[in-house]
Amino acid sequence: MRLLSGSFRPVTALILRPLMAVMLAFTLAGCDTLSSLNPFGDDEPYKPEIKAAQPAEVLYNQGLALLNDSSFEAAAKRFGKLDREYPFSTWSKKALLMQTYAYYNARNYDETAIAGKRFMGLYPASEDAAYVAYMMANAYYNQIPDVARDQDRAEKALNSFREIVERWPKSEYANDARFKITVVQDQLAGREMDIGRYYLKRHNYTAAINRFRAVVSQYQRTNQTEEALARLAEAYLALGISNEAQTAAAVLGHNYPDSKWYHDTYALLQTKGLEPRESADSWMSKLFKSVGLG
């Protein structure tokens, strides 16, 4: 315990003193180096420059001018700047509307949807909401790929057009939305048919039936319904489920008596000694009666 008396000089103190001196020398040298790099003299201290924000009206008019020059991407960015610098203001609302419009005209459909969603989230009751929703729907619609590819954009377009018809049925966009709903539904039905035929060719009849049933159940007013009913009859017959095959043929003949698909299906049933006959218990009979097609 005597080693801890006041006369004791720790060894660490002897080591730290020269080390601190060396560090201090490096620190001072570093200060001299930084001072030599300072572009300002002793009488000219650095002062941060603060630029005043441009007035909202100026930014808006700049965006309009770019639109008039068909510089749509640049206009969209200008309106975006206005939205950022004056958020949640009347100018921001105008900027979001015009930004959506600019991106749509630039055919930048992904950004159209992003700007449109922001507008709809902030101003769902705006008098311009129907127009923004219409631009968003068309942005998805214009990106619909062929039936062999994923139909996510088609689903989004369908939901968007349905929203327009439901929320703004008397708007100037409603009729076009109704027409495009039928186009998109036919596209989605075509996708189901494409997959169903794939399974049918590989004798995976259950999987094929599920796809054809989706067409008949969800898209029964499209041009794909005739073939879907014929394919259902073919798949059910392959599985030995005669009553459903006969019902599919009967529903097909009742709704599309002059259809090529009906004549082919009728001939197919005859090869098995069968004929079209509707079963009241079949899901097809119930479905088509419920939608007024049976």
pLDDT digits (tens, 9 = 90+) for 152-202: 999 999 999 999 999 999 999 999 999 999 999 999 999 999 999 999 999
The pLDDT value given to residue 246: 97
Contact 276, 249 (CB under 8 A): yes
Instruction: State how far Cα 226 lies from the chain centre.
Output: 31
The pLDDT value given to residue 14: 38
Mean pLDDT of 81-105: 95
Please give the residue range of the domain that contains residue 74: 55-121
100-133 pLDDT, tens digit each: 999 999 999 999 999 999 999 999 999 999 999 9
Number of domains in the chain: 1
In this structure, is residue 268 part of a structural domain? Answer: no
Contact 128, 100 (CB under 8 A): no
Instruction: State how far Cα 66 lies from the chain centre.
Output: 28
> Considering only CA atoms, which of 105, 213, 113 is closest in space to residue 156?
113
29 has pLDDT over 90: no
The structure tokens 């709903």 sit at 181
Distance CA 218, CA 234 (A): 20
In this structure, is residue 35 part of a structural domain? Answer: no
Averaged pLDDT score across all residues of the chain: 86
> Considering only CA atoms, which of 186, 183, 182, 191 is closest in space to residue 151?
191
In this structure, is residue 10 part of a structural domain? Answer: no
In this structure, what are the phi and psi dihedrals at residue 279, rounded to the nearest 5 degrees? Answer: -100, 125
199-222 pLDDT, tens digit each: 999 999 999 999 999 999 999 889
In this structure, is residue 283 part of a structural domain? Answer: no
30 has pLDDT over 50: no
> Considering only CA atoms, which of 248, 256, 247 is closest in space to residue 222?
256
In this structure, is residue 74 part of a structural domain? Answer: yes
Confidence category of residue 31, pLDDT binned at 50, 70, 90 = very low
In this structure, is residue 271 part of a structural domain? Answer: no
In this structure, is residue 242 part of a structural domain? Answer: no
The pLDDT value given to residue 42: 55
In this structure, is residue 263 part of a structural domain? Answer: no
Higher-scoring residue by pLDDT: 112, 38: 112
One-letter identity of residue 253: G
The pLDDT value given to residue 148: 73
The pLDDT value given to residue 204: 98
Distances in Å between the Cα of 42 and the Cα atoms of 36, 46, 48 are 11, 10, 16
The mean-pLDDT minimum among 51-55, 113-117, 146-150 falls in 51-55
